Structure 1
Amino acid sequence: MGTDMGLSAEYYLEQLDVEAARLREAAELGLDAAVPSCPGWTVETVVRHVAQVYLHKIEVLRLGALPKPWPPAGINDRDALEQYDEARAAIVAALREAGTTKPTWTFNPDDSTSAFWFRRMAMETVVHRIDVEQAHDVVTPIAAELALDGIDEVLFPSLAGPWWAEGDTKYPIDATLRITAEGRSWTIQADAKAITVSQGAEGDVAAEIFGDPAAVYLWLWGRVGDDAVQFAGSDDVVRAFRGRLTEATQ
C-alpha cells in the first residue's frame, strides 16, 4: 500500500523552479565535470537527461499516454543548456495547464492523474541538482520538508510498486526494516516478490536506517555513502535493501 502525497501542487511547482535554477547555476561551472554518483556521466549528461525527462513528461501530459516512438530524432542535436532552459520552462507550463486531475499515464498503480507528475518532476530535479553540485563540490541543502516527502516517494511507488511479482531480483531480501527521519518512520516489509510500505514505527524490525532527512533521502538514491546515515540491526538486511533500491531506481 502506498503513502499519501502530503504536499501541495503549488509547493511542488515552487520547488521545481528553485531546484531547476540551482541545477542550472551549478552546471554553468562546467559541463565536462564528472558526476561522482553516476559513473560515466558528466554534468552535460545530467543536464541533457533532465531536459529530456521534462520533454518526455510534457508529451505524457499532452497525450495522456506514453509517447511512441521516443525519443524523437535529433533530440541530442541542440545545445544542452539551451535545451534545458526551454524544457524547464515548458514543463512548468505543462503542469499548470494540466492541473492535478487530468487522467494520464503514470507508473503509480494508485494514481493515474497529472497530480503524480508535480511531485515526480520536483523530485527528479532535486536528485539531479545534487548530482551536478557534487560534480563541482558545491552541494547546497535540501529543504527538510521536501526531503521527507522524497523519502516517501522513493519508497512508494519507486520501490514498492508491482515490479517484483516474478521474483526478478538479485536481492531476495526477506525481512522487515524501518527508516526514520525527523520523527517520521516508514516500515518496509520485503521479500523476493513483494515490498510493502506503511507509515509508522510499529512492530519489530531486522534493521533500521535513520538520520537527517536529506541524508536519508540521498542515501536511498545512492547519492551519499553509508557514513551519511546511521544503522541498527542486521548489516546483511541493510545491504540487501540497498541493492533492491538500486534495482528499483536505475
Structure 2
Amino acid sequence: MPMSPDRAAFSLDCLRADSARLAEVARLGLSADVPSCPGWTVDTVVRHTATVYLHKVEVLRLGRLPDPWPPDLTSRDALDLYDEARAKVVAALEQAGTDLPTWTFSPDDKTSAFWYRRMALETAVHRVDVEQAHDVVTPIDRALALDGIDEILVLMLGGPWWEEGDTSHPVDAGVRITSEGRSWTIRADATSATVTQGKEGEVDAEIFGEANDILLWLWGRRGSDTIQTVGNDTAVEAFRNRVAECTT
C-alpha cells in the first residue's frame, strides 16, 4: 500500500524529533553504559545509528546495497558524525519521496517509503537506549509505537525467514498481542510465523500493555514486568526469544 503524504510527514517528524533528542541526551556523556545492550556505551549507539543513516543515504542514492560497506569512520568525532548523518538521511528521504524504487529487506515493499518508516522506528528505539544510559527515558509516540509493533510482528517475525526451520525457538503456539485497541494474532512453529490482524481464534497466551511498553519489550529494551500476560508463560517466553532471533 502506498504511503500517504500525512504518514510520510509523520515519519519524518518523528525521525527529526527522536534523532534530535538522541543527540541531546548523548551529550550528557558518551561513556555511559547502555543497560539493555550489554557491552554497548552511548558512543556505540551514536556511531551505530550514524552508520545506519549513512547506509540508507547510499541505498537511496544507488537503489541497491552499497559495496564495499562500511567506510572507516573510526577517526570521526562521534557526535559530529551523528549530526552530519542525521541531516543527510532526512534530506535523502525528502529528496527520494515515497515512491522511489530501491533496495529494502521487505518482500513486499521495494520503495523508499519503507525507509521512512524504518528510520523513524530505528531512531526511536536507539533514542531510548541513550536515554536509559542516563536514566532520562521518555515514551515513544503512541502512533509510532503501534506502527513499530506492527513492523516487528508482520515484517520481521512474519517474513519468509523460517522455511529451513533454523530456529532455536520453534514456539509451536498461538500468541496474541493487544495494545491501544489493536490486536495481532501470531501462530508460529519451527518453519513459519503467521501474523494476522485481529482476535480470531484461540491462542495459548495473550500479551497486553501500552504500545510503548510492548514495543520496547519486543525489542528487548524492557523486562516482562512492564507487560501483562495471561495463559501459557512458556509460550510467551518462547515467543519473545523467537522475536529476538529475527531482530539481531
With the shorter chain as reference, the TM-score category is: over 0.9
Q: Which moved more, 1:29-38 or 1:141-150?
A: 141-150
The Cα shift of 1:156 comes to 2.1
The Cα shift of 1:208 comes to 0.7
In 2: Cα distance, 1:180 partner to 1:39 partner: 29
In the alignment, which residue of structure 2 is the partner of 1:203? 201
**1:224 and 2:222 correspond:** yes
Query: Does the Cα contact within 8 Å between 1:107 and 1:157 map onto a contact in 2?
Result: no
Map 1:116-155 to 2 at 5 A. 116-155=114-153
Query: Does the Cα contact within 8 Å between 1:179 and 1:187 map onto a contact in 2?
Result: yes
In 2: Cα distance, 1:129 partner to 1:170 partner: 30
In 2: Cα distance, 1:151 partner to 1:199 partner: 12
**1:42 and 2:41 correspond:** yes
In the alignment, which residue of structure 2 is the partner of 1:175? 173
Query: Does the Cα contact within 8 Å between 2:177 and 2:183 map onto a contact in 1?
Result: yes
Query: Does the Cα contact within 8 Å between 2:176 and 2:207 map onto a contact in 1?
Result: yes
In the alignment, which residue of structure 2 is the partner of 1:107? 105
Map 1:89-108 to 2 at 5 A. 89-108=87-106
Q: Give the AA of the match of 1:100.
A: T
In 1: Cα distance, 2:53 partner to 2:157 partner: 22
Query: Does the Cα contact within 8 Å between 2:19 and 2:123 map onto a contact in 1?
Result: yes
**1:71 and 2:40 correspond:** no
Unaligned runs of 5+ in 2: none
In 2: Cα distance, 1:247 partner to 1:234 partner: 20
Q: Give the AA of the match of 1:66.
A: L
In 1: Cα distance, 2:235 partner to 2:89 partner: 39
Q: Give the AA of the match of 1:55.
A: L
In 2: Cα distance, 1:95 partner to 1:105 partner: 14
Find the residue that maps to 1:12 and give its secondary structure. helix
In the alignment, which residue of structure 1 is the partner of 2:81? 83
Find the residue that maps to 1:60 and give its secondary structure. helix
Query: Does the Cα contact within 8 Å between 2:21 and 2:127 map onto a contact in 1?
Result: yes
In the alignment, which residue of structure 1 is the partner of 2:164? 166
Provide the TM-score with structure 2 as the length reference: 0.97
The Cα shift of 1:4 comes to 9.0
Question: CA offsets per residue over residues 43-83 of structure 1, 9 Å max, x none?
Answer: 000000000000001111111111111102x2222000000
Provide the TM-score with structure 1 as the length reference: 0.96
Unaligned runs of 5+ in 1: none
In the alignment, which residue of structure 2 is the partner of 1:51? 50
In the alignment, which residue of structure 2 is the partner of 1:243? 241
The Cα shift of 1:209 comes to 0.8
Query: Does the Cα contact within 8 Å between 2:3 and 2:113 map onto a contact in 1?
Result: no
The Cα shift of 1:183 comes to 0.9
Instruction: Determine what percentage of the aligned residue pairs are the same residue.
Output: 65
Find the residue that maps to 2:102 and give its secondary structure. strand
**1:19 and 2:18 correspond:** yes
Going from structure 1 to structure 2, the CA distance change for 1:137 and 1:208 (only over 3 Å counts) comes to: same
In 2: Cα distance, 1:128 partner to 1:206 partner: 32
In 1: Cα distance, 2:171 partner to 2:223 partner: 21
